[in-house]
Amino acid sequence: MLLGVRDAPPAGMRIERAPRGSLAGAVRGYRGYHEQAPVPRDRWETPAGDVILVLGMGDPFLAQAQPEAGRLMGFTSFVVGLHERPLHTRYEGVQFGVQVRLTPPAVAALLGVAMHELTNRVVDLADVAGRPAERWARTLASAGSWSRRFAVLDGILGERMLARNGDQMIARRAWQRLRRAGGDVSIADVVAEAGCSHRHLTDVFRREVGLTPKRAARVLRYERAARTLRDSRTGPAAVAAECGFTDQSHLTREFRLFSGVTPAAVARAGAGQFSTRR
């Protein structure tokens, strides 16, 4: 049931916008969406380098609380942490809301949560944000236009993420380094650039991102390789070399781990069933 929204986009349409001002870099994009499914539709979301925040204003979205584990549960507003296995989701009825793509350090600042508590999990937003979660969704629903709705998001997110301490900045810079390299970077180089010990960076990174730097690099490397296979005609061997895998066999092992299928299957699926959220 929609929360009294007057200007939902036509069913099947999506409206995207980048964040404004200081949020750029921390918030990677907004997407307003409206989908109708008269019959259930299943999807498997494969690992990606963003944490997803959904503020839902329609019917519940069904997802596993943990990848490859347990029955599907209903979520309306929720957070999807970094995950390392395919995540089974299903939607039906009216799906309407806003999806926000965030860097892990931004989520740590926004929600005040240690990110390893969200790793490989889908969590109801109210469980980590408390009572403001419902207020955010209702404020978005009552906004008079999509431009206003995105402006409201800029204000909510900007205010909550304003304060950052030194460890958060260390994690943010290290994450940006990994992201720019698509995971293909020496962790020793990341440690050296962070200006702290390997142990301290690992502890900070786990708290602010949710994974160790090495595990996060593997997710980002997989994401880059999957995107390259989907968006180009480059073969698996060339993608393996371009994205920093030892060889094609290494690429195939990582794809089976992260997506449950081969690189060829991901390439054939395109932007369909097996997808990294973009």
- Residue 186 token pair: 């020496």
DSSP secondary-structure letter at 245? -
* DSSP assignment string, 66-96: ETTEEEEEEESSEEE---SS-EEEEEEEEEE
pLDDT tier for residue 118 given thresholds of 50, 70 and 90: very high
Q: What mean pLDDT comes out for the span 208-220?
A: 95
pLDDT digits 0-9 by tens, 163-182: 556 788 899 899 999 999 99
Average pLDDT score over residue span 193-214: 92
- Tell me, what's the pLDDT at 92? 85
| Tens digits of residue pLDDT in 131-150 | 888 889 889 888 878 889 99
Handedness of CA 27, 20, 176, 159 (dihedral sign): negative
- List domains and CATH numbers for the chain: 13-160 (2.60.120), 166-275 (1.10.10.60)
Specify the pLDDT at position 276: 45
3-class secondary structure, 194: helix
Q: What angle do CA 76, 15, 172 make, to 5 degrees?
A: 70
Looking at the predicted structure, is the pLDDT value of residue 262 above 80? yes
Q: What pLDDT was estimated at residue 8?
A: 52
Task: Enumerate helices (H) and strands (E) in the chain, giving the number of each.
Answer: 11, 9
- Cα(156)–Cα(148) distance, rounded to whole angstroms? 12
Compute the average pLDDT of residues 254-273: 81
First CA to last CA across the chain, in angstroms? 27
56, 59, 54: which is closest to 38 by C-alpha? 59
Least Cα distance to 204 among 236, 169, 232 occurs for 169
Residue 278 has pLDDT above 50, yes or no: no
Average pLDDT over residues 43-55: 93
Q: Can you say whether the dihedral through the CA atoms of 180, 263, 269, 74 is positive or negative?
A: negative
Prediction pTM value: 0.80
Residue 82 in contact with residue 104, Cβ under 8 Å?
A: yes
Structure confidence at residue 263 (pLDDT): 93
Alpha-carbon distances of 168 from 105, 121, 145, 173, 189, rounded to whole Å:
7, 22, 34, 9, 19
Provide the angle, in degrees to the nearest 10, between the axes of the packed helices 198-208 and 166-180.
Answer: 90
1-16 pLDDT, tens per residue? 445 444 555 556 689 9
User: According to the model, what pLDDT value does residue 133 have?
Assistant: 85
**Percentage of the chain with pLDDT > 70?**
91
pLDDT value of residue 11: 54
- Integer Cα distance of 66 and 88 in angstroms: 9
Per-residue pLDDT tens digits for 59-102: 899 999 999 888 899 999 999 999 999 999 998 888 889 999 99
What is the predicted pLDDT for the residue at 165?
66
